[in-house]
């Protein structure tokens, strides 16, 4: 476990150093051309326009975390595998919301076949900038799931006042969200 934590720390530090060097180069070019020399400005430009593209799967692999094909994981190991993968993503600054309506295998499958293969900018993890992955989308079915299982009374009242028919309240079938990794404050 210590070796894995070291790999996360080493990868984060290497990424920070690459970013700092690239931002220094952007500031130097701006200085030479009489442009904006503000480091914060060039940091933002780098983050949005120049940072190399990667995937979370590749970042996990670089840190020694392989994500198996979900169907290859035995039933009795799915929960532990999901916890391992979500913990690793949390160490990279990626956190999940609204997972209590999804069973472990389905959640692992969505993470392994959709989420971690999306193109992302390679940026060092930061307590000041984290990513949240909401497992509810924007479809009417997802809206109804939110209103039935997650919404506060106030959110339900607001939806009702907007003309949305409210589904019956239902308890979430799983209790995972409260145990998931969260950013440090």
How many domains does the chain contain in total? 2
15-49 pLDDT per residue, tens? 999 999 999 999 999 999 999 999 999 999 999 99
66 lies in the same domain as 38:
no
- Residues 40 and 62 placed together within one structural domain of the fold: no
CA geometry: angle 175, 93, 117, nearest 5 deg = 85
The pTM of this model reads 0.86
Q: Using DSSP bridges, classify how beta strands 119-121 and 53-55 pair: parallel, antiparallel or unpaired.
A: antiparallel
CB 97, CB 133: distance < 8 Å: yes
Same domain, 72 and 33: no
150, 84: one domain: yes
User: Mind listing the pLDDT tens digit for each residue in 90-114?
Assistant: 999 999 999 999 999 999 999 999 9
The answer on 62 and 6 residing in a single domain is no
Q: Does residue 147 share a domain with residue 180?
A: yes
Structural domain that includes position 111: 55-185
Distance CA 100, CA 102 (A): 6
CA angle 117, 61, 104 (to 5 degrees): 60
Residues 38 and 106 in one domain: no
Residues 41 and 59 in one domain: no
Residues in the chain: 185
Residue 8 pLDDT > 90: no
Q: Residue 14 pLDDT more than 70? A: yes
């Amino acid at each position: 476990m210590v070796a894995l934590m070291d790999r996360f720390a080493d990868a984060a530090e290497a990424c920070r150093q690459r970013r700092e060097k690239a931002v220094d180069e952007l500031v130097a070019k701006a200085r030479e051309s009489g442009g904006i020399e503000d480091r914060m400005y060039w940091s933002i430009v780098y983050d949005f326009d120049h940072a190399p593209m990667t995937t979370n799967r590749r970042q996990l692999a670089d840190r020694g975390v392989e994500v198996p094909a979900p169907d290859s994981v035995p039933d009795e190991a799915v929960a532990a595998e999901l916890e391992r993968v979500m913990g690793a993503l949390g160490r990279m600054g990626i956190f999940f919301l609204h997972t209590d309506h999804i069973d472990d295998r389905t959640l692992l499958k969505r993470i392994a076949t959709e989420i971690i293969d999306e193109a992302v900018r390679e940026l060092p993890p930061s307590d000041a900038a984290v990513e949240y992955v909401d497992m509810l989308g924007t479809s009417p079915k997802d809206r109804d799931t939110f209103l039935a299982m997650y919404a506060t009374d106030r959110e339900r009242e607001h939806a009702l006042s907007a003309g949305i028919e409210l589904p019956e309240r239902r308890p979430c079938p799983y209790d995972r969200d409260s145990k998931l990794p969260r950013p440090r404050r």
